Amino acid sequence: MIKAFAGQHLLSVQELSLEAVETVFSVADRMVPFAERRMVTRVLEGAILGNMFFEPSTRTRVSFGCAFNLLGGEVRETIGMESSSLAKGESLEDTARVLSGYSDVIVMRHPEEGAVDRFAQASRVPVLNGGDGAREHPTQALLDLYTIRRERAALGLSLEGLRIALMGDLRYGRAVHSLVQLLNLYPAIEFHLISPPELALPPVYEEALRSRGHRVFRHDTLAPGLAAADIVYVTRTQEERFPSPEEAARYRGLFRLNQAVYTEHCAPQTVIMHPLPRDSRAGAQELDSDLDAHPALAIFRQADNGVVIRMALFALCLDVVGDVEKDLKPVRWYTGGRRP
């Protein structure tokens, strides 16, 4: 079954079956000792990642690069549209054919929807979508779902019977759209969609959930949704998209999660997630920093999980899962700050 990933692209969450997602997660579990710096593997020593970010991104770019380094490989990188070749009229297909001659796998982020697909079709090596415009960011969805599973497992629970509140701007956020598609592969989940009506989850996603038998509840205030959830997935409320500032002002107080709101409305141990970055400027603060020390705040564990998910995807598409644990070396350097 793992062989099915060898040489394959990952362009969209829509390509992923339940079985495929579970494979990624089981491989990700095996990557934890490396990401936590307990052991060193060199399975990809000599391999090269082309980390091609035609749109700037620090977090996702560095996370992919680290994941490849942790498997022993090297990273060659492009940041932004410095590429004068594209400016000189080179087609995306030509760029793909040339760059895929230099590396063993390519991660690509591009500001245009569909650009990563076109690039992948011409590439001679596997391509992982690092985000194409507002369309897809499949590794974010995978790390979100992986985080949900680990947080549940830490409480002795599986995904079955999960009650998740998705809160904020559910209309435009691609992270939410991709996550609900992955959750829809699993049985019997209860969704609490907390948003102003203007920013509700697009009907196509909600209908897909209902048609698979999930229970879906809509809320336009915080309290009932929070109270019913095991996990709250907070997103940035993009107030600039509201029809008017007055309209936005109506919901402003309702869509902030902070210590007081959490204590009043959430059950103990309710897990808090956020795809990050969160907006910490006064007037935004959809997830207040006064919760930073709370043990149920999973947002930095969530970011950390990006590394093991990306390691798993590299190991799968380069077909080295069976060799990762061979020839291990111990970590000899200080790692005191890394282990929770």
Q: What are phi and psi of 193, to 5 degrees?
A: -95, 105
Q: Is 284 in the site for its own copies (CB under 8 A)?
A: yes
Enumerate residues 44-83 that contact its own copies by CB under 8 A.
44-48, 50, 56-59, 62-63, 65-66, 69-70, 72, 74-80, 82-83
Q: Is 139 in the site for its own copies (CB under 8 A)?
A: no
Q: Is 218 in the site for its own copies (CB under 8 A)?
A: no
Q: Is 27 in the site for its own copies (CB under 8 A)?
A: no
Q: Is 121 in the site for its own copies (CB under 8 A)?
A: no
Shortest reach from residue 218's CB to its own copies, in Å: 27
Between residues 22 and 238, which has the closer beta carbon with respect to its own copies? 238
Question: Which of 140, 122, 120 shows the shortest CA–CA distance to 130?
Answer: 140
Helix (H) or strand (E) holding 279: none
Q: Could you tell me which stretch among 182-190, 205-213, 219-227, 280-288 binds its own copies (CB under 8 A)?
A: 280-288
Q: Is 6 in the site for its own copies (CB under 8 A)?
A: yes
- Please say whether the beta carbons of 127 and 120 come within 8 A: yes
Q: For its own copies, which residue of 43, 185, 189, 248 counts as binding (CB under 8 A)?
A: 43
Shortest reach from residue 215's CB to its own copies, in Å: 33
Q: Is 335 in the site for its own copies (CB under 8 A)?
A: yes
Q: What are phi and psi of 33, to 5 degrees?
A: -60, -30
Q: How many residues bind its own copies (CB under 8 A)?
A: 81
Query: How far, in Å, CA of 253 to CA of 56, rounded?
Result: 32
Helix (H, G, I), strand (E, B) or coil at 267: coil
For residue 83, what is the DSSP state?
A: -
Angle at which helices 59-70 and 138-154 cross, to 10°: 70
Query: How far, in Å, CA of 25 to CA of 22, rounded?
Result: 5
β-pair type (39-40, 329-330): antiparallel
Q: Could you tell me which stretch among 38-46, 128-136, 161-169, 255-263 binds its own copies (CB under 8 A)?
A: 38-46
Enumerate residues 77-106 that contact its own copies by CB under 8 A.
77-80, 82-85, 88-91, 93-95, 97-104
Q: 105's torsion region: left (phi>0), alpha (psi -120 to 50) or beta?
A: beta
Shortest reach from residue 327's CB to its own copies, in Å: 10
Residue 323: both structure tokens together: 């060799």
Q: For its own copies, which residue of 289, 290, 294, 325 counts as binding (CB under 8 A)?
A: 289
Between residues 62 and 223, which has the closer beta carbon with respect to its own copies? 62
Between residues 85 and 158, which has the closer beta carbon with respect to its own copies? 85
Q: For its own copies, which residue of 30, 37, 174, 218 counts as binding (CB under 8 A)?
A: 37
Distances (CA, A) of 53 to 67, 78, 94, 150, 307: 16, 6, 17, 29, 17
Residue 52: both structure tokens together: 């091609």
